[in-house]
């Protein structure tokens, strides 16, 4: 009788994933007839990026394939005085890259029961303790995540305009912009200036249609600038980046564009007529950015990041660090001002300010901004697992 060897290529992207059982499933169009032997020749696995700690070894399981084997093939030893039969069909060791696992050599050849057959192949992975490893990550509600961090100021031009404002349409005038944060800001256009609600990436922004356009509020309580804070905003420059174009001013940070660079007011100056502090963060005209500032009181340092969101230098990340001992210059009802001089065609989108400087806080706000730029209310906070396996099954 002629023996035939079939190679089966299993890739995680081609499987149906059962989140309840953490199992990848493949359905065959016909049953495997008269199997003689089975061998896992190659296999690789990368866990979800949120897995911590990474296991030292990963076991590859299949209940369906194990049921085809002629005899008990694998046992897991424990501290108890008995052997536990297992459906492990391959052992993947960590490679030279942390968090990546592979079969080091060809796996053993298992004799199969020729009367066994299956049209369904299941694959799942465990760590050394037998705990099943996730194949996919759940969607994260980014709005709920930011709300749980208790933002001081949270400006969202898609959802936060107060009810008394006129109905919003892209290109239409905006009368006011309410904060979803704890400070309860209600930013009102100054001097009856027109500000437009417009498209920004796949989300929305407020566009300043003329120089000296601004929105302001002086009623809400703000933190003092001597406190810890993580501030992240998305904005788009206009047709000029040479003169002072103000982005946003709060009691914590007064940031603007001048001479093609991001600048801010010196928090060490003892009065409101503060000098300009330059950074190395360069901006271009008509370009969208995500600007981050982490202010830590422990070392009086302002750490800036500027990510380019579109244009010729998309995804470019610039960084800068400045050290100043901030003074408590302003009362806690100091004006919040968006825009002002030289802001024609500038746009301000989402803004989040949180009194925390942990890495997790910054990561969470960045994920929120990324989801908004992409036009989604939820996304995966990390990367799904992935695997590949090459199996050889001999039939007759």
Where does the pLDDT of residue 165 fall: very low under 50, low under 70, confident under 90, or very high at 90 and above? low
Residue 285 has pLDDT above 90, yes or no: yes
Residues 58 and 339: their CA atoms lie apart, in Å, by 54
What rounded mean pLDDT belongs to the chain? Answer: 87
Residue 333 has pLDDT above 60, yes or no: no
| The pair of three-digit structure tokens given for residue 112, joined into one six-digit string | 């199969």
The β-bridge partners of 77 are: 83
Terminal-residue alpha carbon distance, the chain: 6
Residue 303 has pLDDT above 90, yes or no: yes
Determine what percent of the chain falls in helix, strand and coil, rounding each to the nearest 5: 10, 45, 50
Q: Where are the domains of the chain?
A: 4-137+383-395, 140-380
| The pair of three-digit structure tokens given for residue 9, joined into one six-digit string | 């290529």
pLDDT at site 108: 87
Q: What is the mean pLDDT of residues 294-315?
A: 94
Residue 164 has pLDDT above 70, yes or no: no
Q: What is the mean pLDDT of residues 104-112?
A: 86
What residues have CB less than 8 Å from 268, skipping those under 6 apart? 324, 325, 326, 327
pLDDT at site 186: 80
**Architecture, CATH, for domain 140-380:** Sandwich (2.60)
φ and ψ at residue 33, rounded to 5 degrees: -95, 135
Residues 101 and 55: their CA atoms lie apart, in Å, by 10
Fold: same for 4-137+383-395 and 140-380: yes
Where does the pLDDT of residue 246 fall: very low under 50, low under 70, confident under 90, or very high at 90 and above? very high
The β-bridge partners of 319 are: 305
pLDDT at site 223: 56
Nearest to 124 by CA among 132, 114, 115, 116: 132
Residue that the structure tokens 């394939």 belong to: 65
Q: Which tens digit of pLDDT belongs to each residue from 4-36?
A: 888 999 999 999 999 999 999 999 888 777 888
pLDDT at site 85: 79
Residue that the structure tokens 């942390």 belong to: 98
pTM for this structure? 0.69
Q: Which tens digit of pLDDT belongs to each residue from 199-218?
A: 999 999 999 988 888 888 87
Residues 247 and 354: their CA atoms lie apart, in Å, by 18
Residue bearing the bigger pLDDT, 106 or 236: 236
Q: Which CATH number fits domain 4-137+383-395: 3.90.1300.10, 2.60.40.10, 3.90.1170.50, 2.60.120.1100?
A: 2.60.120.1100
Residue 76 has pLDDT above 90, yes or no: no
Residue 145 has pLDDT above 70, yes or no: yes
String of DSSP letters for 325-379: -----S-TTPPEEEE-TT-TT-EEEEEEEES---HHHHHHHHHHHHHHHHT-SEE
pLDDT at site 272: 64
Q: Which tens digit of pLDDT belongs to each residue from 177-197?
A: 888 876 677 888 876 677 888
């Amino acid at each position: 009788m002629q023996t035939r060897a079939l190679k089966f290529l299993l890739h995680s992207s081609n499987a149906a994933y059962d989140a309840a059982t953490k199992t990848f499933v493949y359905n065959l169009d016909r049953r495997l007839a008269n199997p003689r032997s089975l061998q896992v020749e190659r296999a690789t696995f990368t866990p979800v990026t949120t897995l911590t700690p990474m296991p030292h070894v990963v076991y590859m399981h299949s209940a369906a394939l194990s049921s085809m084997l002629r005899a008990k093939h694998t046992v897991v030893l424990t501290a108890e005085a008995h052997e536990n039969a297992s459906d492990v069909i391959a052992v993947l060791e960590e490679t030279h890259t942390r968090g990546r696992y592979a079969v080091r050599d060809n796996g053993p050849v298992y004799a199969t029961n020729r009367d066994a057959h299956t049209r369904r192949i299941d694959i799942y992975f465990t760590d050394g303790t037998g705990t099943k490893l996730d194949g996919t990550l759940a969607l994260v509600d980014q709005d709920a995540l930011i709300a749980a961090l208790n933002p001081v100021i949270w400006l969202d031009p898609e959802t936060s305009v107060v009810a008394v404002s006129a109905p919003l349409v892209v290109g239409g005038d905006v009368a006011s912009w309410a904060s979803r944060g704890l400070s309860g800001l209600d930013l009102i256009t100054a001097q009856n200036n027109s500000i437009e609600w417009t498209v920004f990436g796949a989300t929305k922004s407020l566009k300043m249609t003329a120089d000296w356009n601004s929105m302001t509020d002086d009623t809400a309580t703000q933190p003092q600038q001597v406190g810890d804070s993580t501030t992240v905003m998305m904005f788009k420059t206009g047709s000029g980046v040479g003169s002072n174009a103000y982005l946003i001013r709060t009691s914590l940070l007064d940031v603007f564009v001048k001479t093609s660079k991001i600048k801010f007011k010196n928090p060490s100056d003892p009065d409101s007529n503060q000098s300009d502090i330059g950074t190395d963060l360069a901006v271009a005209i008509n370009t969208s950015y995500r600007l981050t500032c982490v202010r830590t009181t422990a070392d009086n340092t302002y750490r800036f990041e500027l990510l380019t969101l579109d244009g010729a230098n998309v995804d470019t990340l610039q960084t800068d660090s400045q050290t100043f001992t901030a003074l408590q210059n302003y009362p806690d009802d100091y004006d919040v001002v968006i825009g002002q001089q030289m802001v024609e065609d500038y746009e301000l989108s989402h803004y989040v300010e949180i009194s925390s400087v942990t890495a997790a806080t910054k990561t969470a706000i960045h994920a929120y901004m990324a989801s908004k730029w992409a036009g989604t209310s939820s996304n995966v906070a990390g990367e799904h697992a992935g695997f590949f396996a090459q199996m050889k099954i001999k039939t007759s």
